[in-house]
Amino acid sequence: MAEGVIGPVTVTGMILLSFPSGDYDRRVVLLTKERGKITAFARGARRQGSRLLAATEQFCFGKFKVFEGRDAYNMVEANISNYFEQLRDDFEGACLGMFFLEYADYYTRENNDEVEMLKLLYQSVRAICTPSLDNALIRLIFEIKAMVVNGEFPGIPQGADLDRSTEYTIDFIVRTPVEKLYTFAVNDIVLKEMRDLVGRYRARFIDRKFKSLDLLDTLGV
């Protein structure tokens, strides 16, 4: 290796965004365990037969070998452990997954410790691919836990007239490790009360309208 040239770094993460760049390249935004959110260019990734063609699509999770540049990284290799192919045939699930990616892109930053957010994102997309789980509940669990991870969840408002089961459910989400979140179901009363609370907190803490949100609301998710 030439003097002054920094070697490759291997990061573990998920692709949040993927865009065409030039004639054959791709620009991707990755949420990583080691470096937080980073931007990387994959040269020739859109050429037929490229090893990076499928590995630079949204939702791909795995290990990526990158070289650090001045303003971005250059991706040279990818070892994908989960493509989440199930979402290609699940319109509602894909829309919910896009919301999670958009949410994570909004909340995360480069060089921040984003390990918990990455874990939450990965487990939440896995939950979408589990037919026995309710997408509406998955969405609410994700939103509450994302606020907790980012230190913004203020708890249940004093004087809130909530069903005891709703209070218990929210407390469970706040206290439970990400890996054990998607293990329960709730009734319609709890779901409605959680949706109302999350909607108020989203309006309070998030100053951006997510593109995927209107479609989810139309779908009733």
pLDDT digits (tens, 9 = 90+) for 57-97: 999 999 999 999 888 999 999 999 999 999 999 999 999 99
- Tell me which residue has tokens 């991870």: 149
**Counted domains in the chain:** 2
* pLDDT of 4 over the 70 cut: no
Q: Do residues 100 and 72 share a domain?
A: no
Q: Do residues 17 and 117 share a domain?
A: no
What is the C-alpha to C-alpha distance for residues 207 and 173, in angstroms, rounded to an integer?
A: 24
pLDDT digits (tens, 9 = 90+) for 120-139: 999 999 999 999 999 999 99
Q: Do residues 94 and 179 share a domain?
A: yes
Q: Residue 4 falls within a domain, yes or no? A: no
Last-in-domain residue among 82, 105, 140: 82
* pLDDT of 2 over the 70 cut: no
> What pLDDT does 5 receive?
54
Last-in-domain residue among 82, 104, 131: 82
Q: Do residues 207 and 98 share a domain?
A: yes
Residue-range definition of the domain harbouring residue 42: 9-82
Average pLDDT over residues 174-183: 96
What is the pLDDT of the chain when averaged over all its residues? Answer: 93
* pLDDT of 1 over the 70 cut: no
Using CA atoms of 190, 191, 196, 198 in order, give the dihedral in degrees to the nearest 10: 110
pLDDT digits (tens, 9 = 90+) for 104-120: 999 999 889 999 999 99
Pairing of strands 25-32, 61-68: unpaired
Q: Which CATH number do you get for residue 57?
A: 2.40.50.140
Q: Bigger pLDDT: 177 or 158?
A: 177
Residues of the chain above pLDDT 70, percent: 97
Per-residue pLDDT band at 158 (split at 50, 70, 90): confident
Give yes or no for a contact between 64 and 11, defined as CB atoms under 8 angstroms apart: yes
Task: Bin 3: left if φ > 0, else alpha if -120 < ψ < 50, else beta.
Answer: beta
Give yes or no for a contact between 83 and 60, defined as CB atoms under 8 angstroms apart: yes
Q: Residue 169 falls within a domain, yes or no? A: yes
pLDDT digits (tens, 9 = 90+) for 46-60: 999 899 999 999 999
Last-in-domain residue among 56, 82, 108: 82
pLDDT digits (tens, 9 = 90+) for 10-40: 999 999 999 999 899 999 999 999 999 999 9
What is the C-alpha to C-alpha distance for residues 31 and 58, in angstroms, rounded to an integer?
A: 11
Q: Do residues 130 and 99 share a domain?
A: yes
Q: Residue 1 falls within a domain, yes or no? A: no
What is the C-alpha to C-alpha distance for residues 82 and 80, in angstroms, rounded to an integer?
A: 6
Q: Do residues 76 and 116 share a domain?
A: no
Residue 119 to residues 25, 76, 125, Cα–Cα distance (Å): 28, 24, 10
Q: Do residues 164 and 186 share a domain?
A: yes
